[in-house]
Structure 1
Amino acid sequence: MLSFQEKLAIMEAFPELERKNVSLGRVNFHYERSVTDKKNVGFHFHPNGNGYVYAGELEGVAADEKGFVNVRDFSAEELRELVKRSIQSLTGEASWREGDEETWRDSESQELVLKFEDEMWYVFSGLSLEMAFESREEAEAYLKEEGFGRKR
């Protein structure tokens, strides 16, 4: 079992995570750029050895009802890999495959399509290309600025 300090060192090695000290000596690690309402990647890391990593969006990972996995007995490599996958799942990009698309609609029922191709994010109005972006985050920011939301 990794020590508390070893687990913290692994978590702190991810520059995209922000450390948050919480009560009873526990430490959380937030991913502020999450595209979901989930921000905690690391939750309640404690000197007693317990700690949890969010895996609610990951296939093939046994998580609790809130989407967390207890990493008490994880090896360094297992912890690194789970944290990496967790961060990817919260960017929204991990689940997208070549050709995937999603429809966005504004208050006037106009629709734009966000499509992932050739490692780029494209926004289409019908067959016309509106914009192209290098990340989903940029594409979604553009769509939101233009008054669009995901079609439900």
Structure 2
Amino acid sequence: MLTFEQKQQIIESFDELERKDISLKRVNYHLKTSLYEKTLVVEKLHPNGNGYVFVGDLPQYKELADTRHLVNIRDFSEGELRDVLEAAITYLTEEEEPEPQLEETWTNRHGDELTLRHDNPDYGVYHGDNVEELFGTYETAKAYLLEEGFRLKK
């Protein structure tokens, strides 16, 4: 296990992190360049070696993270600590890729038209401006339209 001082040295090697001393000789580290309201990357680093790093919803830390999206770094090696810090910094400084917008027009044999639109996170089927149905996936929305006799307009 790394000592408090070793963890501090590793964390402080990341120039973008700013140290803030808090109570009971604990230390927080904030990310000055965060694109989000969340700036706290290292929380409550304690002289006993305990501390937490914010990992958001990064899939590689899902099993380790608590409900606040923090992982305990008490038993992390130098490599593990550097990896989690790099991942956290990247997570907070890179903009999310926008999901591609989907809007399709579907028609039936009578000439009626419905619009299938991705309204994150749902897929809505619209008649004009009115919502007909909402679905959790594109596949279920498409199946509904096909069952109702609609086909994708070409």
TM-score range, shorter chain: 0.5 to 0.7
TM-score (norm. length: structure 2): 0.60
Find the residue that maps to 1:41 and give its secondary structure: strand
Moved beyond 4 Å, runs of 4+: 100-103
The CA RMSD over aligned residues, in Å, is 1.7
TM-score (norm. length: structure 1): 0.61
Match of 1:4 in 2: 4
In 2, distance between residues paired with 1:19 and 1:27? Answer: 7
Residue 102 of structure 1, CA deviation:
7.6
Residue 38 of structure 1, CA deviation:
1.1
CA 91–5 in structure 1, closer or farther in 2 if over 3 Å, else same: same
Matches within 5 A, 1:90-129: 90-93=92-95, 95-96=96-97, 100=98
Match of 2:140 in 1: none
Q: Which of these residues, 70, 87, 90, is aligned with residue 89 of structure 2? A: 87
Match of 2:121 in 1: none
Identity over aligned pairs, percent: 47
Residue 37 of structure 1, CA deviation:
1.6
Find the residue that maps to 2:86 and give its secondary structure: helix
Match of 1:23 in 2: 23
| Cα offsets for 1:78-128 (capped at 9, x unmatched) | 0001000000000134x54xxx5689xxxxxxxxxxxxxxxxxxxxxxxxx
Find the residue that maps to 2:37 and give its secondary structure: coil
| Structure having the higher Rg | 2
Match of 2:41 in 1: 41
Find the residue that maps to 1:60 and give its secondary structure: helix
In 2, distance between residues paired with 1:19 and 1:102? Answer: 38
Q: Which amino acid aligns with 1:87?
A: I
Residue 57 of structure 1, CA deviation:
3.2
- The alignment covers a number of residue pairs equal to 99
Q: Which amino acid aligns with 1:79?
A: L
In 2, distance between residues paired with 1:14 and 1:42? Answer: 12
